[in-house]
Amino acid sequence: MPQHIALKDPHREARIYSARTITAILIVMGLLALILSRYYSLQITEYETYRTQSERNRVQLQPLPPKRGLIYDRNGVLLADNRPSHLLSIVVERVPDLEETLKELQKLVPISASDLENFYKKKARRRPYETVPLRFRLTEKERAQLAVNRHRLPGVTVEAQLLRHYTHGELFAHAIGYVGRINEREAFELDSTDYRGTFHVGKIGVEKYYEDILHGDVGYQNVETNAHGRVLRVLERFDPTPGVDLTLHLDIALQRTAQEALGDQRGAVVAIDPANGGVLALVSTPGFDSNLFVNGISSADYSALRDSPDVPLFNRAVQGQYPPGSTVKPMMALAGLESGLITPEYTVPDPGWYRLPGDSRRYRDWILKIRGTGHAPRVALEMAIAESCDVYFYDLARRLTIDGMYDRLHPFGLGERSGVDTTNERRGVLPSTRWKRDNLNQPWYPGETLSAGIGQGYMLATPVQLAVATTALATKGRHWSPRLVRTIDGEPAPAPELPSVKATPEHWQAVQEAMRAVVHSARGSARKIAQGIEYEMAGKTGTAQVIGIAQNEIYREEDIAERHRNHGLFIAFAPFEAPTIAVAVIVENGGGSSAAYPIARRVIDTWLLDEATGESPVATAVAAE
Amino acid sequence: MSDYLRQLPDRSSGLSRRPGAAQRFYLDLPLLGLLLALTAFGMVVLYSASGQDMGAVVRQGRFFLVGYVVMIVAAQVRLQRFERWGPWFYLGGIGLLVAVDIAGVGAKGAQRWLSVGGFRFQPSEVMKLVVPMTVAWYLADRTLPPRFKYLIVCLGIIAVPAALILIQPDLGTALLIAASGLFVVFMAGIGWSYIFGAAVLACASAWPVWMYGLKEYQQQRILTMLSPESDKLGAGWNIIQSKTAIGSGGWDGKGWLRGTQSQLDFLPESHTDFIIAVLGEEFGLRGVVILMGLYLLLLLRGFWIGLHARSSYGRMMAGSLTLTFFVYIFVNMGMVAGLLPVVGVPLPLVSAGGTSVVTLMAGFGLLMAVSAEQRTVKH
């Protein structure tokens, strides 16, 4: 330290400091002069302009909310539209006595408690002389009532506004989602400038996922008003940029067929175009009318939907997680072929049950309770898939091990969110020893590997995941993160491709042939739907147990309450040689796959045969290549 | 005796002959007078800006009372003590900033406040004094202008608190704190080559950061901040209103309590950051010129104290405190008039606010301690 002091030269330092001070003073004076010149130009040069502007603040800046982008199906059928609607709003500054006015208004039109609550919230955040909405969607009669009494109600205005309308609310509720009034949390998160003058925002589904581009950009106009707030003259106008229109891959006819085929049953259908990952149909039943949500659903309607045992608000297609059951068998077969554990000719003895070495427990095949024996003395790959033989896959699962299964099934997209462009997607479960350790903190037991081998136990998949996996089966390995939206503002929005499932062509061939036998062979588990079919279809049935069945108990459907019946599943693609559609169907408590495969057939029939769908699916496939 | 007085011109004034209260309490009278004048002017404007709310004025008056007490107490402290305490304050301040980032109380998505026993304060506010104190402490013993390696240490001293405040996030305060530390370095006389070098480097690195480091919406935010008037419904709305208020004031102003923009609540934040708009509307350019004149005199007095300080620590502190004070004035007045981006900087001694007033007055106390050092050797 003393060293530094020895080197210090106080005179030099003082000299430098003085120089710096003079520099600083010059800079300070210069910048103050700059500021002063700005105030001079505002207050002297442009005085007249600003004085006029400030006079009683007759000049107002009004936001012009953008028109929300429209949503069309693939054929150009309008699904989400904006319709003019009238809203009652108040300019608080122009109302002599707010409480009195509100009381007066309540005598003229019904105003609910939640309307009032929203009004007060918005009032607290408003800018001076900004209109605050009180009641949405006025009827013709209510408007007339208000118009007659207008002279008594200064500061009360009726404004026209565009409101979302879903032309097929029931049919697309789960696929498109809906908009609703901006709530407090959203008001905080949204850009307050961009949403000035906008009262609605996408809440779920496509409406939420694409909110950014559907919304558009706000505009504004500078208007001169009279003392009562009526606009006299528009001084300056900057038009809003409307939101971008979306065209979906969804096909209204397919959507309708799927909905009708599901009927009163709880379930879901997802259909994907194997050429590009576009979602052709996405239905979850029961649904609801999405228009209910646009203007604040009444609490009675809402509790009815929320408390229904059928959970209509639950989007089974992306949120429903079900044991995939035997629908994993084609993927398991490919895993066995690729890992060299089986060949198409390899056979397994099938007495109707399977036993782990050194374990007395019998793992039964579903056929045991029907025939009292196995499918055949020895079962090979094609029969194992076509007739859905459990023993064959118990044996394969044991040899593959659970972690081997994880490695081979994961590329199909099981256990991962597909990334479909909607909200609330669940990821399902593809179990592994690590998964069980991390999530349940338990070791893996060998018997659990056998359950996993037939898609039971811990394994869970959403219908959309199954549809993606089916796409890979249809295309021999290619699949996409599915997309509901096909074009954005007319520009194609291609689905991101997922890493392909790698396997040799012969192995793909063997699995696909076996899947064809499910439908087209004499003993195929879905042979019933081959009746009168005009094309070749490949599929796989699945039955998922809802409750565990004890060792010696025989399962009898009629004894079990409806809610405990098995889920029915079916995955399929068609036409066999050049697939243009891949479908996954689940029917909750359908009893078995026989509840699901007729639905798939109807959907595929509509897609392949129905001329009324407008666009030729063949043309689509060609265009995509 | 008369010879002796001639050699010490400071003591030749009336002050030295009759050791009055001001001298006994180490108060710098010109500074005190200017501060009182600004305080009084500020309260008058505040009464109007707060919608003639006497409560707000009384509350602000209480803050000023605390502020003046803090200032007078600070003026009693020997400058060497400040110098020695600096680094300890610094370490404590860093601790508080970390505490704010971990356990702070949020307001509008930013954590800035620390709540201790119902008493809330902003540690970042205190750092506005502590950072220059620490840099000046570090440089005071070294040869000036500082050598390159010392410069690096100074930048480190400045960067740590600035970064901690930046993640609160509070960009405005972080920049102000960085500036207050850099002013010390500037007054210490670093070479112009460093200054220009740093400026060139900053410009050169801004481009790749802009191109590759920022997402499109972040770029949009910055553009909006740089030209608020393009965002007419958001930040631009405030600026349009404040410009209308100022411009419609003209030369004479509309008269106290007669500003239509201010009184009809068109003006946002009228009693805090945008208070100059109320002043401009009601007192006109005349009022603005008077305010600027008072500020200018205050700044010149600050520089004068620095020029006459005995120690290099005192010099650097006086210079940096004065320049920091100027930055407040410049940024606030520029921002309200639509000349600069809108960042939350109050108009010093006029805008309503608690912590900021107390910190400001503590700074003036330090300035008075510097001024006292040149006249007397304290006990």
* Count of residues making up chain A: 625
Q: Are residues A215 and A277 in the same domain?
A: no
CB A458 within 8 A of CB A436: yes
Token pair for A70: 């429209």
A381 located within any domain: yes
Most confident range (mean pLDDT) of A184-198, A266-280, A366-380 is A266-280
Token pair for B345: 């900087």
Q: Is A261 exposed, middle or buried (0-12, 13-18, 19+ CB in 10 A)?
A: buried
- Among the partner residues B145, B234, B337, nearest to A42 by beta-carbon distance: B337
Q: Do B247 and A32 touch (CB under 8 A)?
A: no
pLDDT number for residue A551: 43
pLDDT number for residue A5: 46
Query: How many Å separate Cα A249 from the centre of its chain?
Result: 14
Q: Do B246 and A54 touch (CB under 8 A)?
A: no
Dihedral sign for Cα B63, B69, B71, B77, please. Answer: negative
Helix (H) / strand (E) element for A352: namely none
pLDDT number for residue A342: 95
Q: Are residues A105 and A196 in the same domain?
A: yes
- Among the partner residues A13, A24, A49, nearest to B303 by beta-carbon distance: A24
- Closest by CA to B173, choosing from B64, B273, B83, B95, is B273
The whole-angstrom separation of Cα B193 and Cα A116 is 65
Which positions in chain A touch B333 (Cβ < 8 Å)? 35, 39
Where is average pLDDT lowest: A114-128, B62-76, B110-124, B215-229?
A: B110-124
Average pLDDT of the residues in A539-546 = 90
pLDDT number for residue A429: 94
- Among the partner residues B187, B232, B250, nearest to A20 by beta-carbon distance: B187
Q: Do A28 and B251 touch (CB under 8 A)?
A: no
B66-125 pLDDT per residue, tens: 999 999 999 998 898 999 999 999 999 999 888 887 776 655 455 666 666 555 677 888
A96-114 pLDDT per residue, tens: 888 888 888 888 888 888 8
CB A172 within 8 A of CB A290: yes
pLDDT number for residue A564: 80
Q: Are residues A148 and A256 in the same domain?
A: no
pLDDT number for residue A132: 87
Which positions in chain A touch B263 (Cβ < 8 Å)? none
Q: Do B330 and A31 touch (CB under 8 A)?
A: yes
Could you tell me the pLDDT band of residue B13, with boundaries at 50, 70 and 90?
very low
- The CATH number given to whatever domain includes residue A168 is 3.90.1310.10
CA dihedral A113, A115, A120, A123 (to 10 degrees): -170
Q: Which residues does A261 contact at the CB level (< 8 Å), separation at least 6?
A: A269, A598, A599, A602, A603
The whole-angstrom separation of Cα B345 and Cα B366 is 22
Instruction: Indicate the residue type of A587.
Output: V
| Closest chain B C-alpha to A116 CA, distance in angstroms | 24
The whole-angstrom separation of Cα A127 and Cα A220 is 15
Average pLDDT of the residues in B147-165 = 91
Q: Are residues A460 and A559 in the same domain?
A: yes
Which positions in chain A touch B142 (Cβ < 8 Å)? 4, 8
* Statement: residue A2 has pLDDT above 60: no
A296 located within any domain: no
To 5 degrees, how large is the angle CA A370–CA A372–CA A377? 115
Which positions in chain B touch A54 (Cβ < 8 Å)? 244-245, 247-248, 260-261, 281
Token pair for B191: 């070479």
Token pair for A263: 């009927």
Could you tell me the pLDDT band of residue A187, with boundaries at 50, 70 and 90?
confident
The whole-angstrom separation of Cα A499 and Cα A507 is 18
Token pair for B358: 């107390």
A203-216 pLDDT per residue, tens: 999 999 999 999 99
* Statement: residue B215 has pLDDT above 80: no
CB B348 within 8 A of CB B328: yes
Q: Do A36 and B289 touch (CB under 8 A)?
A: yes
Q: Are residues A355 and A502 in the same domain?
A: yes
pLDDT number for residue A229: 62
Where is average pLDDT lowest: A222-226, A280-284, A521-525?
A: A222-226
Token pair for B159: 């960067």
pLDDT number for residue B105: 62
A251-295 pLDDT per residue, tens: 999 999 999 999 999 999 999 999 999 999 999 999 999 998 887
The whole-angstrom separation of Cα A78 and Cα A168 is 9
Token pair for B346: 């109050």
Query: How many Å separate Cα A437 from the centre of its chain?
Result: 31
Domain of A214, in residue numbers: 61-248
The nearest alpha carbon in chain B to A12 belongs to B144
* Statement: residue A413 has pLDDT above 60: yes
Average pLDDT of the residues in A385-389 = 94
* Separation of first and last alpha carbons in chain A: 78
Q: Are residues A200 and A140 in the same domain?
A: yes
Instruction: Indicate the residue type of A593.
Output: S
A326 a catalytic residue: yes
Q: Do A193 and B300 touch (CB under 8 A)?
A: no
Torsions phi, psi for A586 (to 5 deg) = -135, 135
Residue tagged 């305080």 (tokens)? B39
Torsions phi, psi for A604 (to 5 deg) = -70, -40
| Closest chain B C-alpha to A215 CA, distance in angstroms | 15
Query: How many Å separate Cα A500 from the centre of its chain?
Result: 23
The whole-angstrom separation of Cα B168 and Cα B185 is 26
Torsions phi, psi for A425 (to 5 deg) = -65, 140
Half-sphere exposure of A329 (CA within 13 A, CB side): 35
Which positions in chain A touch B199 (Cβ < 8 Å)? none
- Closest by CA to A269, choosing from A309, A311, A318, is A318
The whole-angstrom separation of Cα B365 and Cα B77 is 9
Q: Are residues A85 and A126 in the same domain?
A: yes
**Global pTM?**
0.66
Cα distances from B192 to residues B189, B199, B276, B319, in angstroms, run 8, 10, 35, 17
Cα distances from B30 to residues A29, B80, B364, B370, in angstroms, run 20, 23, 12, 14
The nearest alpha carbon in chain B to A191 belongs to B234
Which positions in chain A touch B266 (Cβ < 8 Å)? 57, 128
Torsions phi, psi for B287 (to 5 deg) = -65, -40
Average pLDDT of the residues in A581-589 = 95
pLDDT number for residue B193: 87
Q: Are residues A188 and A280 in the same domain?
A: no
* Statement: residue B234 has pLDDT above 70: no
* Separation of first and last alpha carbons in chain B: 24
- Among the partner residues A5, A42, A61, nearest to B141 by beta-carbon distance: A5
The whole-angstrom separation of Cα B179 and Cα B174 is 9
CB A291 within 8 A of CB A303: no
CB A440 within 8 A of CB A303: no
Q: Do A38 and B337 touch (CB under 8 A)?
A: yes
Where is average pLDDT lowest: A248-252, B18-22, B76-80?
A: B18-22
Token pair for B168: 């609160």
A549-571 pLDDT per residue, tens: 444 444 555 555 777 889 999 99
| Closest chain B C-alpha to A36 CA, distance in angstroms | 8
* Statement: residue A418 has pLDDT above 70: yes
A337-357 pLDDT per residue, tens: 999 999 999 999 999 899 988
Q: How many CB pairs under 8 A join A and B?
A: 146
* Statement: residue B235 has pLDDT above 70: no
ipTM: 0.88
pLDDT number for residue B118: 54
Q: What is the mean pLDDT of chain B?
A: 83
The whole-angstrom separation of Cα A496 and Cα A252 is 24
Could you give the percent of chain A with pLDDT greater than 90? 59
Q: Are residues A474 and A530 in the same domain?
A: yes
A20 located within any domain: no
- Closest by CA to B49, choosing from B273, B373, B321, B375, is B273
Could you tell me the pLDDT band of residue A494, with boundaries at 50, 70 and 90?
very high
Could you give the percent of chain A with pLDDT greater than 70? 92
Could you tell me the pLDDT band of residue A226, with boundaries at 50, 70 and 90?
low
As for how many domains chain A has, the answer is 2
How many beta carbons lie within 10 A of that of residue A528, not counting itself? Answer: 12
Instruction: Indicate the residue type of A436.
Output: K
Best of A8, A25, A43, A221 to mutate (most B CBs within 10 Å, chain B)? A43
Query: In the beta sheet, which residues pair with residue A234?
Result: A223
* Statement: residue A300 has pLDDT above 70: yes
Could you tell me the pLDDT band of residue A3, with boundaries at 50, 70 and 90?
very low
CA dihedral A367, A370, A376, A378 (to 10 degrees): 30
Could you tell me the pLDDT band of residue B186, with boundaries at 50, 70 and 90?
very high
A7-49 pLDDT per residue, tens: 677 888 888 899 999 999 999 999 999 999 999 999 999 888 8
Strands A491-492 and A538-544: unpaired
- In the sheet with B105-107, reading across from the earlier edge strand, the strands are B105-107, B110-116, B119-121
pLDDT number for residue A620: 42
Q: What is the mean pLDDT of chain A?
A: 88
A201 located within any domain: yes
The whole-angstrom separation of Cα B342 and Cα A129 is 24
Where is average pLDDT lowest: A57-61, A272-276, B130-134?
A: A57-61
* Statement: residue A616 has pLDDT above 60: no
Strands A156-166 and A347-349: unpaired
Q: Are residues A433 and A529 in the same domain?
A: yes
Half-sphere exposure of B175 (CA within 13 A, CB side): 10
Instruction: Indicate the residue type of A613.
Output: T
A309 located within any domain: no
Residue tagged 């009759």 (tokens)? B18
A442-472 pLDDT per residue, tens: 999 989 999 999 999 999 999 999 999 999 9
The whole-angstrom separation of Cα A441 and Cα A434 is 9
- The CATH number given to whatever domain includes residue A552 is 3.40.710.10
Q: Are residues A207 and A229 in the same domain?
A: yes
* Statement: residue B14 has pLDDT above 80: no
A328 located within any domain: yes
Could you tell me the pLDDT band of residue B327, with boundaries at 50, 70 and 90?
very high
Could you tell me the pLDDT band of residue B1, with boundaries at 50, 70 and 90?
very low
* Statement: residue B285 has pLDDT above 80: yes
Which positions in chain A touch B319 (Cβ < 8 Å)? 17, 20-21, 24
Q: Is B106 exposed, middle or buried (0-12, 13-18, 19+ CB in 10 A)?
A: exposed
Average pLDDT of the residues in B136-143 = 88
| Closest chain B C-alpha to A122 CA, distance in angstroms | 16
* Statement: residue A1 has pLDDT above 80: no
B299-309 pLDDT per residue, tens: 999 999 999 99
A51 located within any domain: no
Q: Are residues A186 and A280 in the same domain?
A: no
Q: For chain B, percent helix, then strand, then coil, each to nearest 5?
A: 70, 5, 25
Q: Do B333 and A39 touch (CB under 8 A)?
A: yes
Q: Do B250 and A44 touch (CB under 8 A)?
A: yes
A78 located within any domain: yes
